[in-house]
Structure 1
């Protein structure tokens, strides 16, 4: 399943969690961001202060996906 990168200004780098493709990039406000879909819902993450390593962002989505 491939989803759209709804909060990103461009597609950015893709990742795969449990067969679902998501994207990491920059959102429309210039923040580090990512987008992932689960259970027919788009999950968007924007870092408002500081920055996260890519592994940390993926861990957040993995934990949400496992719930």
Structure 2
């Protein structure tokens, strides 16, 4: 994902209807530079989250004497 130019970030902020100060847009732009690479690593297609192993608490495994 290419780095979003500041001018494009300004347009995205306007399109979202946000009224931000220039310093706030600068912070958003800096944060986006860190977030964009992470979004590329997120799996968009493939196995659903139900295919991932879950952490399940099973109370039947423990006896009542331990409660």
The structure whose RCO (Cα within 8 Å, separation 6+) is larger is 2
TM-score category (smaller protein)? 0.3 to 0.5
TM-score scaled by structure 1?
0.33
User: Where is the strand percentage greater, Structure 1 or Structure 2?
Assistant: 1
Flag the structure with larger Rg: 2
User: Where is the helix percentage greater, Structure 1 or Structure 2?
Assistant: 2
TM-score scaled by structure 2?
0.33
